[in-house]
Amino acid sequence: MARGLFITGFNVSEVLAIQRRAKELLLEGKTIMNWNDADTSVSKQFTMSVAEVLDECGHALRILDPATYGRPRIAVTSFIDGYLPK
């Protein structure tokens, strides 16, 4: 499930570029994508599967440009807390 990693600080063209690169890696048979954040003083590297990157890109595109990519998917749950007579 997408967590919104590519929403803050990214625009549509950047998300599309990430999505294109993930697709290239998938078609090449590679299953790991590395991303480095050079904007901070600490160099971080985290690994996401191509499927996770594509999921995040789709989620970000629906948030950043809903007119083109559709509205974000929202899951609804409900629960009952307390005593229910039988």
pLDDT, tens digit, 9 for 90 and up, residues 36-82: 666 654 444 456 777 788 888 888 888 889 899 887 666 777 777 77
Q: Who's near 9: CB < 8 A, 6+ residues apart?
A: none
pLDDT at 21 over 60: yes
| Coil, strand or helix at 2 | coil
> Would you give the distance in Å from CA 16 to the centre of its chain?
12
Better pLDDT: 12 or 76: 12
Which pLDDT band holds residue 25 (cuts at 50, 70, 90)? Answer: confident
* Global pTM value: 0.53
pLDDT at 33 over 60: no
First to last CA, the chain: 36
